[in-house]
Structure 1
Amino acid sequence: MNTERIYDSDDDQDDFQDAEDLPLSNNMSLHQALDESHKALEYFFNNQFREAKSLMAPYSKVSMYHSLGHSVFLYMEAMLTFEQTAIKEASIALKSSMNVCNKFRKKSTLTESIGKVVRRSHYELFTQLEAHAELCHAEAMLLKSMLTFIEDETLSSFIKAGLKIRSCFNSYKDCHQILLNRNWEKDPTKKHYEGGVRVGIGVFNLMISMLPARVIKLLEFIGFSGNKQKGLTELTIGCETEGLRQILCIMAVLGYNLIVLHVLSHREGDIKLCKDIIDKRLLKHPKSVWFLFFKGRLEFLQGNLNESKDWYVKSWKSQNIWPQFHHICFWELVWVHCLNLEWKEALYYSAELVEHSKWSRTMYSYQKAAILCMMKDSLTSKEQGEIDRLMEDVPKYKQRIAGKSLPMEKFALKKAERYFSQNRNLILPVVELMFLWNLFKMFKNLSIGGKVLTLIEKTILNLDSSGKQSKYYNDNKALLLLLQGSCLRQMGSPLQALDNLETVISMNKSIIEDTYIVPYAIVELALIEWYNGNRQKAILALEDAKKNYTGYSLESRLHFRIHTALTEFKSEIKHM
C-alpha cells in the first residue's frame, strides 16, 4: 500500500459512490488531507460553518481525515439541534468514517491477534498511514459512542455505548504507544498525530479522575483508569503542540477550567491560563462564537457581570447560521441577570430557551416559572396563570437515558409538584437553582453577594411571620438557612455561616421532602472547617455526607463535589 495515498482501490470506491458524489481524484495525499482539515478548522472557528462542511464533504467516502471532519460537523449539528434527522445523519456519517479508517488500519493475522494477548504489540512497525488511521478511528468511535446515548434511551444501548467507549479508551492507549515507539524522525505529520493522542489521553484521564470513588472502582475493574495530573499535563502539552488538533486541546482546557471544574468542584479553574489562551485566540479569531463565549464565561467567573453580558451578546450576534449557538449564550445571560436580580431581563432569555431550544424543555419550563415566581408581587393574573401552565408543562418533556430521568429534570419535576401542593408558591426558587449550579462562587464579589443575601434575609423574616403554619415550614426554613450559610461562606463570614449550617443539620428529622438540604449543608460546613484549619473534622464531615445519606435529589452531583474535595484534601495532608 502506498502510505501517502488515502484512497482505496477503484472497486472499493465504487461501493461508496452514488450519482450525486463529486468526482474523486486519485492524488489526495495524507499531507493534503491534513492541510485541508486544518483549513476547515480555520473556517469553523471563523464562523464559516458552511465553508468548513463543504470542504470536507467531497472526499468523505475515501479520505479518513475528510470523512472524520465531515462527520464531526454533522455530530456538532446533531448535538446542537437534538433533531432526530440530524442525529441519524451524524450516526451514519460516523459509521462511514469508521469504515473508511478501517481500510487503512494495520491488519493483523489470526496468529498476530492471538499473540497480542500474551506479548506487546509491535507499535514501532506502524506505517505513517496506519498510525493516523488508528487515531482517526478512535476519534470517530468515541463520537459514535457518545451519540448512542441520545440515539436510543434503552439500558442495552447504554451498556453498548459504554463498551464502545472502553474500546475507544484502549485504542487511545495504543495510539499513545505508537507515538512513543514509532520512529517519527523527519515526519511532518507527527505534530498532528501527537495533538490527537494528547487530547484523547488527557480528557479520558481528567474526566475519569473526577468521578465518585465507587464509580472509579467499577471502571478500574473493566480496564479504565484516570489520573488528574496526567490529564492536565497531556492537555497542556497538547495546547503548546502546533498541529491540527491543538485547538481541541485548547477547547478541552477551557471547558474544564471554566465550566466543568466550576460546576463540579469547590475550586476555581486556572483563570490566568484561560485568559492567556483566550486573548491569543481572539487575536486570531476575533469573531469566533466559541472564543467570544469563553471570554464572557471568564468575565462571569470573575464576577464582572456587565463585561460578561457584553461578551455573551457579542458571541450570540457573531453568527446566524446555527441559531443553537445562541441558546448557549442565552442560558448564561439568564444567570448573569439573575445574579443581578434583574428578573425581567432574565425572563426574556429564559422565554427564548423555552420557545426555541430542545436540549431540556423540562428544565427551561421550570426555570422560566421560577423566574416568574421571583416577580410574584408585580404579576398580573395572566402572568400568574402562565406560572401554572409552565409548572404543568415540566413533566411533559422529561427525557430518559437508560430508562432513568436526568437528575436536574427530576429535581424540577419535584419542585413543580411542590409548587401546587404549597398553594402555588415556592421559596426563592431561582436562588436555590443558583446554589445548585454552584453560582454562589460569584459572591466573592461582595456587591453581587450582598444583594442576594439581603433578599434571603428578607424572605426569612417573611417566612417566620407568615409561614409557620405551613406543612413545609421546616423544609423552607432549612432551605433558606442553607442558602444564607453558603452565601456567607462565599462572602468571607465563616462563623455566621457555621451557625446557619449547624442549625440546618439539626433539622434533619423535621424535613419532609427537601432531604437534599442536609447533606449539601454538611459539605458546606466541611469546606468551612477545612479553611479554618480543622483538617480532620472537614474530612470526617465529607465522609459523613458521602456514606450516611442516600436517596435525595441531585445526589450524584454532590458526590462529584465530595470526591474532588476529599481527593484534594487528603493529598494536601499527605504532603504536609
Structure 2
Amino acid sequence: MDVMEDTVPVEEEEQFEDAYEHIPTACHMDLQSAIQETQCALNLVLNNKFSQALDLLKPWWRDSMYHALGYSSILVMQAAMTFEQGDIQVAMATVKEALNTCQRFRKKNSVVRSLSSLLSRQSNLQEEELHAELCYAECLLQKATLTFVQDENMISFIKGGIKIRNSYQIYKDCHNVLNVAVGPSGDSDCHRQFEGGVKLGMGSFNLMLSLLPQRILRLLEFIGFSGNREFGLSQLLEGTSGSTLRSILCALTLLFYHTYVSLVLGSGEGGVAEAEALLEPYLRKYPKGAIVQFYSARIAALRGHFEKACSGYQECVSSQMEWKQIHHLCYWELMWTHTYRQDWPQAYRYADLLCRESRWSKAIYVYQKAAILAMMSPEDARQTGDDVVELFRQVEGLKQRLAGKSIPLEKFAVRKARRYKAGRPVPLVLPALEMMYIWSGFTIAAKRADCTEALLVTVEAAEGRLAAETEPSEFHVDDCCLAQMLKGLCLKHAGRLIQAELCFTYVLSNENAIRYDHYLVPFTLYELALLYRQQGDHVKAAAFMENAKSNYRDYSMESRLHFRIHSALNHLKSSAAATA
C-alpha cells in the first residue's frame, strides 16, 4: 500500500496501526519477521510509545540485524532531536554494538572485496547477506549523523567522512546490485525493503556531501566521495513511497533538510511546500505523534503563521511526557518564534526553561537568556528577578569541550559575554537579534511584514543610541557595524534594496576600524552578494561570495558561513544553467 496515496479513513488507519503494533514476540526470527517487528517498533515511536518500541526490539537486538538497526535508530533519532551529549554518547555506543551484530551476518570476504566484485564473480550472495550489508552501512551512516550533530567544525567533517567511506562504498555496491537486477526477486517484500534501504542511503549520502563546501569536498573526492544534490533528493523522495521500513526515515530526512538544514546551513531557501507534501500523510496516520506535530509546527513558523506555530509546539509538548528532550526542542523553537515577534517576556520564559531543564549547552542557553533579558524593558526585566550582568558573567564558566574542541557557537557566546567581565561592563547592542541572525531567523521573520517593520524600528532605536554616545567605548565601531548589518537585513526584506546596500557598504568601509567582531565583514559581503543576486546581478553576487570565501580566515562562525556560501554559489550555478 502506497503511504503517499493512502485513502483509508483515519478511524480505520488507527485501528490498523494499533493491531500492527501488538504482534506477539517471536520465538524464531527470520529476515521477514525481523523486518516486520522492526516496522512495528517504528510505528510505536511515531505514536509516542518510545519505551515500548525499545522493549520490543531489545530481546533480539544482539541477535538480529534489523532489531539492532532499529534499536540504534531510535536512540540516534533521540540524539539528533535533542543534541544532548549524554544521548549522543549512548547512541554512539549502541551503534557500535549494532555494527558488531550486523557484521556477523555479512559475507566473510566482503570486508576485503566489494559486493560488485563478488557479483561479477557470480558469487551466490544470500538475501540475508545483502540485507546485512545494507544494515551495516546504515549503522555507519548513523555514526556520520552523530558526528554531524555533535560538531559542525570542518575537521570533524573530514574525520567523519574518512570513517564512513566504507559505508558509502557499500551503498554504491548495493545500488549496483539493484541496477544489474542480481539478487532477491523484485517481487518479494524483502527485495522492496532492500531497495528502500538503498534509496535512503544513497539519497542521504549524496545530499549530505552536496552540502559540504568546495575545499572540503575536494579532499573527500580524493578518497572516492562525491555528492549530487538533485540525485540525493530524488532518491529520498522515491524512498518515501510505498510502505517499507525506510519510507518514514526517508521522509524524516527530507523534512529535516527542507525545514532546518537548507535554512541554517543554506542560503535561506527552505522547501516549505515540499515539507508540507511529505508530512501530510503522516499527519493523518499519526495525528498525535510528537515528531509529526513538531514538524507541523515548524512548517507553520516557516510560513509566518507564528501563532499557529506556538500552538503546535505546545500541543507537541502536551502529547507525551516520556521524551522530555522533545519538550526542550519545542522550547527552543517557542523561544525563537516569540523572538520574531519581539515578545520578549515569552521568549525569556522559554529561554529560562531551557536553562533549567536542558543539558545540551548551558553556555548557549544562559547567553541566550541574558541576550533576551537585555532586550526587555526595564520594568519587564525587573519582574524576572534576574540580573543581566550576572547572567553574562556566568557564560564563560559554562563552556564545554568535546573531543578536545570547543563548540563554535559557545566560543562566540563566551567572546561576546566578556564585555560584562570588567568592573564597568559595556552592554551588548541588540544581542538577541544578533543570535537570531546566526540562526537565519531574519529570513523566517520576514514572512511577516509587520515583524520586519517592528525589527527595523528596534534596530534604528539602537542606532540612535549609538549616535548619541558622548564617550564612545572601544566597541563603538563594532556595535555601529552590527547595527548597520542588521538594519540592512531588515531593509532588504522590506524591499528597500538601495537603502539596504548603503547599510552593508557602511560595514565594509569600516573594516579596518573593527576591533573584535571581525565576522561582520565576511558575513556582510555574503549578505551584499545575496542582495545583488536578488537584483539579478549574478556576476557581482558571485564575486562578492568568492571574496568572502577566499580572503577571510579565523573569524567567528566561519564554518557556518562557508556552508551558506557553498549553497548560494550552487544556487547561482543552477540559475545560470536554467537560463542558458
SS at match of 1:423: coil
Give the distance between the partners of 1:495 and 1:149, measured in 2 at CA. Answer: 39
C-alpha contact 2:186 2:192 (8 A) present in aligned 1:
no
Please, which moves more after superposition, 508-517 or 186-195?
186-195
SS at match of 1:108: helix
1:69 aligns with 2:75: no
1:483 aligns with 2:486: yes
SS at match of 1:544: helix
- String of CA shifts for 1:268-320, please: whole Å, max 9, x gaps: 22222211222221110001111111111111111111011111111111100
SS at match of 2:164: helix
1:351 aligns with 2:352: yes
Give the distance between the partners of 1:567 and 1:81, measured in 2 at CA. Answer: 30
Alignment partner, residue 5 of structure 2: none
> What is the deviation of 1:377?
2.6
Give the distance between the partners of 1:449 and 1:157, measured in 2 at CA. Answer: 36
Alignment partner, residue 418 of structure 2: 417
1:193 aligns with 2:194: yes
Structure 2 vs 1, CA of residues 483 and 199 (structure 1 numbering), >3 Å: closer, same or farther? same
1:549 aligns with 2:548: no
Give the distance between the partners of 2:150 and 2:472, measured in 1 at CA. Answer: 48
Structure 2 vs 1, CA of residues 380 and 567 (structure 1 numbering), >3 Å: closer, same or farther? closer
1:371 aligns with 2:355: no
C-alpha contact 2:302 2:447 (8 A) present in aligned 1:
no
C-alpha contact 1:153 1:401 (8 A) present in aligned 2:
no
Percent identity of paired positions between Structure 1 and Structure 2: 39
1:518 aligns with 2:554: no
Alignment partner, residue 97 of structure 2: 96
**Amino acid aligned to 2:425:** N
1:339 aligns with 2:340: yes
Q: TM-score, normalised by structure 2?
A: 0.88
C-alpha contact 1:191 1:242 (8 A) present in aligned 2:
no
> What is the deviation of 1:465?
1.0
C-alpha contact 1:198 1:238 (8 A) present in aligned 2:
yes
Give the distance between the partners of 1:204 and 1:151, measured in 2 at CA. Answer: 18
SS at match of 2:387: helix
Structure 2 vs 1, CA of residues 173 and 24 (structure 1 numbering), >3 Å: closer, same or farther? same
SS at match of 2:48: coil
Structure 2 vs 1, CA of residues 155 and 227 (structure 1 numbering), >3 Å: closer, same or farther? closer
1:130-529 superposed matches below 5 A: 130-144=129-143, 146-147=145-146, 161-181=160-180, 182-183=182-183, 184-375=185-376, 377-378=378-379, 386-421=387-422, 423-441=425-443, 442-466=445-469, 469-529=472-532
Give the distance between the partners of 1:82 and 1:539, measured in 2 at CA. Answer: 34
1:128 aligns with 2:130: no
Give the distance between the partners of 2:539 and 2:489, measured in 1 at CA. Answer: 21
> What is the deviation of 1:419?
3.5
Alignment partner, residue 20 of structure 1: none
Alignment partner, residue 108 of structure 1: 109
> What is the deviation of 1:523?
1.1
- String of CA shifts for 1:318-375, please: whole Å, max 9, x gaps: 1001111100000000011111111111111101111111111111010001011112
> What is the deviation of 1:98?
1.9
Number of aligned pairs?
A: 552
- String of CA shifts for 1:491-548, please: whole Å, max 9, x gaps: 2111110111111111111111111111111111111112212221111111111111
> What is the deviation of 1:195?
1.6
Please, which moves more after superposition, 36-45 or 462-471?
462-471
The structure, 1 or 2, with the larger RCO (C-alpha pairs under 8 Å, 6+ apart) is: 2
C-alpha contact 1:203 1:231 (8 A) present in aligned 2:
yes
- String of CA shifts for 1:53-110, please: whole Å, max 9, x gaps: 1111112222111122123234445556777776565444333322222222122299
**Amino acid aligned to 1:431:** L
SS at match of 2:516: coil
Structure 2 vs 1, CA of residues 334 and 550 (structure 1 numbering), >3 Å: closer, same or farther? same
SS at match of 1:297: helix
1:531-570 superposed matches below 5 A: 531-570=534-573
Give the distance between the partners of 1:154 and 1:250, measured in 2 at CA. Answer: 27
Alignment partner, residue 4 of structure 1: none
> What is the deviation of 1:385?
5.9
**Amino acid aligned to 1:496:** Q
SS at match of 2:446: helix
C-alpha contact 1:123 1:177 (8 A) present in aligned 2:
no
C-alpha contact 1:46 1:288 (8 A) present in aligned 2:
yes
Structure 2 vs 1, CA of residues 395 and 277 (structure 1 numbering), >3 Å: closer, same or farther? same
Give the distance between the partners of 1:155 and 1:538, measured in 2 at CA. Answer: 25
**Amino acid aligned to 2:518:** T
Give the distance between the partners of 1:552 and 1:489, measured in 2 at CA. Answer: 25
Give the distance between the partners of 2:290 and 2:237, measured in 1 at CA. Answer: 23
Please, which moves more after superposition, 281-290 or 367-376?
367-376
C-alpha contact 2:267 2:565 (8 A) present in aligned 1:
no
Please, which moves more after superposition, 534-543 or 402-411?
402-411
SS at match of 1:27: coil
Structure 2 vs 1, CA of residues 400 and 242 (structure 1 numbering), >3 Å: closer, same or farther? same
Alignment partner, residue 19 of structure 2: none
> What is the deviation of 1:27?
2.7
Give the distance between the partners of 2:397 and 2:352, measured in 1 at CA. Answer: 17
**Amino acid aligned to 2:407:** L
**Amino acid aligned to 2:440:** N
> What is the deviation of 1:209?
0.9
Give the distance between the partners of 2:84 and 2:430, measured in 1 at CA. Answer: 34
Alignment partner, residue 5 of structure 1: none
> What is the deviation of 1:420?
3.6
Give the distance between the partners of 1:301 and 1:156, measured in 2 at CA. Answer: 31
SS at match of 1:466: coil
Q: TM-score, normalised by structure 1?
A: 0.89
C-alpha contact 2:456 2:487 (8 A) present in aligned 1:
yes
Structure 2 vs 1, CA of residues 109 and 169 (structure 1 numbering), >3 Å: closer, same or farther? closer
> What is the deviation of 1:262?
1.1
- String of CA shifts for 1:253-278, please: whole Å, max 9, x gaps: 11000110011222422222211222
Q: Provide structure 2 residue ranges, at least 5 long, that are not aligned to the other structure.
A: 1-23
Give the distance between the partners of 2:159 and 2:534, measured in 1 at CA. Answer: 44
C-alpha contact 1:292 1:312 (8 A) present in aligned 2:
yes
Alignment partner, residue 32 of structure 2: 31
- String of CA shifts for 1:11-30, please: whole Å, max 9, x gaps: xxxxxxxxxxxx99663221
Give the distance between the partners of 1:531 and 1:261, measured in 2 at CA. Answer: 18
Q: Provide structure 1 residue ranges, at least 5 long, that are not aligned to the other structure.
A: 1-22
C-alpha contact 1:293 1:329 (8 A) present in aligned 2:
yes
